Amino acid sequence: MTVPMDPTMEIGPLRIADVDVLIRTNSTDLATVARRVFAGLDRPPGSPPASRSVTFETVGHRDPEPHWSIHRDGQPCETELTDAGVLVHQQWELNRLAIESVPTSIHGAAVVVAGRAALLVGPSHSGKTTLAGWVTTRLGARFIADEVASIDDRRQVLPYARPLGIRPGGPLASAKPSGDPSPADLILQRFMPEERLVPITELGGVVWADAAAIGLLVFPRYDSGSPLSVRRLSEADALEGLVALTPGLVRHGRSVFECLSGVVANTPAVELHYGDVRSAAPIVVGELIEQGGRS
């Protein structure tokens, strides 16, 4: 089969903050997988076009060896990607766009309970995605963001329902139905042989599509086998934690600090040290409900 080199298939428009995003590709397989994986980022039906737009061209090449390239508005992002790397890198480019678009964008996930968001803040492997996924799929919270939690001028979390990165053997992996792989699963395995990108809806979760006021800051810390512990954080500790995980602070400076300062001044914060998500997840929901009752 001859693969056309012109990127003629489109995924999107997706909505990242205030930007409409199109991904154009020449691969039917990639288009199929990307539409499925990035479904949570689709521009809401009936929404008017955004004031800005970005087009990615994610193109498969056959010469000299099979590889992929990603260009953003004509500028190269990566040009030597493998099957296993292209989708992950595409996701990374979307994250980057989200961070660029909103100055106060924090490395974190967010879920909504009773209309208020818990912001789960932490570096990679701190357990925030697992916690957000579990709270959403098992405890009825709404999923609003993962990896990038952007905060607007009113100190609300903006939706960024990117797919969850699910590792084999992890708690969320068991939430996915097992069975013989279908043809679609085989295509997924081609692009995601290790960590799988899975929309929360495929795990039975529901997306929260609007901005949400922040009701709780959670700094998860996952250690396998660790007993559950919850520690209240001071405003100073919470602010220092947020600052360390907000890349836009370096570029935008004072305005971002003041936004984060406003967040910690109005939001209780806890460090949640856990080894089993089943015991940690109810803490997040309980704290949010408790804080909602006080406000």
> 186-225 mask for other proteins (x: CB under 8 A)?
----------------------------------------
Instruction: Establish if 237 lies at the interface with other proteins (CB under 8 A).
Output: yes
Which residue in the set 234, 279, 286, 290 belongs to the binding site for other proteins (CB under 8 A)? Answer: 234
SS3 letters across the chain: CCCCCCCCEEEEEEEECCEEEEEEECCHHHHHHHHHHCHHHECCCCCCCCCEEEEEEEEEECCCCCEEEEEECCEEEEEEECHHHHHHHHHHHHHHHHHHHCCCEEEEEEEEECCEEEEEECCCCCCHHHHHHHHHHHHCCEEEECCEEEECCCCEECCECCCEEECCCCCCHHHCCCCCCCHHHHHHHHHCCCCEEECHHHHCCEECCCCEEEEEEEEEEECCCCCCEEEECCHHHHHHHHHHCCCHHHHHCHHHHHHHHHHHHHCCEEEEEECCHHHHHHHHHHHHHHHHHHC
Stretch in the footprint of other proteins (CB under 8 A) among 82-90, 149-157, 249-257, 284-292: 249-257
Q: Is 235 in the site for other proteins (CB under 8 A)?
A: yes
Q: Indicate which single residue of 17, 102, 158, 249 sits in contact with other proteins (rule: CB under 8 A).
A: 249
Name which position in 257, 276, 282, 292 contacts other proteins (CB under 8 A). Answer: 257
* Interface residue with other proteins, options 125, 253, 279, 286 (CB under 8 A): 253
Stretch that binds other proteins, among 10-18, 135-143, 210-218, 245-253 (CB under 8 A): 245-253
Binding residue (CB under 8 A) for other proteins from 254, 293, 294, 295? 254
Q: Which is nearer to other proteins, 87 or 218 (CB)?
A: 218
Question: Does the protein bind other proteins through residue 80 (CB under 8 A)?
Answer: no
Q: Which is nearer to other proteins, 26 or 267 (CB)?
A: 267
Which residue in the set 81, 157, 216, 239 belongs to the binding site for other proteins (CB under 8 A)? 239
Residues between 265 and 294 that touch other proteins (CB under 8 A): 265
| Contact residues for other proteins, defined by CB under 8 A | 234-237, 239-240, 243, 249-250, 253-254, 257-258, 261, 264-265
